[in-house]
Amino acid sequence: MTNCAAATTRRTDAVRAAEFYSELMYIALLSYTAPRNEVDYTLAEHAEWLRAQFSHGLFLVSGNGHEDADQVILTRPCLRGKLDAVLATDPLVLQRLARYRVIEFSATRTAGGFHTINEALAS
């Protein structure tokens, strides 16, 4: 692919991403506020809660964090109020064992693997 063709492809990808992500997306950073041995008792409930959010289609990716957060969640575009309401139902939050910090962003470019997600968001 020539440099000109690659630049055109990158612009097209960026435009396509902007079309699909007209709403804000979020990164939710979960930090434990209690000792880990207390948190461990609620992790099974938290894992079930995560599965439910994935099945509802709100969460795209989750995993263990490093340094700034104990866990990280990437969400689909949604209203911030909806996300805050969902995060408030996390068993770790309900039992005051953890808290969320949410980072808002507008996606302007995505990797090729996310194109199927982009198309699902557009429909």
Q: What does each C-alpha distance from 21 to 9, 14, 17, 114, 120 come to in angstroms?
A: 18, 10, 6, 12, 11
More confident residue, 29 or 22: 29
Evaluate the CA torsion angle 43, 45, 46, 51 in order and state its sign.
Answer: positive
**Are 80 and 24 a contacting pair, CB within 8 Å?**
yes
Domain 24-121 fold = Alpha-Beta Plaits (3.30.70)
Q: How confident is the prediction for the chain on average, in pLDDT?
A: 82
Record the pTM: 0.74
**Mean of the pLDDT values across residues 41-70?**
94
Q: What are phi and psi of 15, to 5 degrees?
A: -65, -45
Percent helix, strand, coil in the chain, to 5, is 50, 20, 30
More confident: 63 or 121: 63
At residue 7, the pLDDT reads: 45
Could you state, in order of their start, the residue ranges of all structural domains in the chain?
A: 24-121
Q: How far is it, in rounded angstroms, from Cα 75 to Cα 54?
A: 9
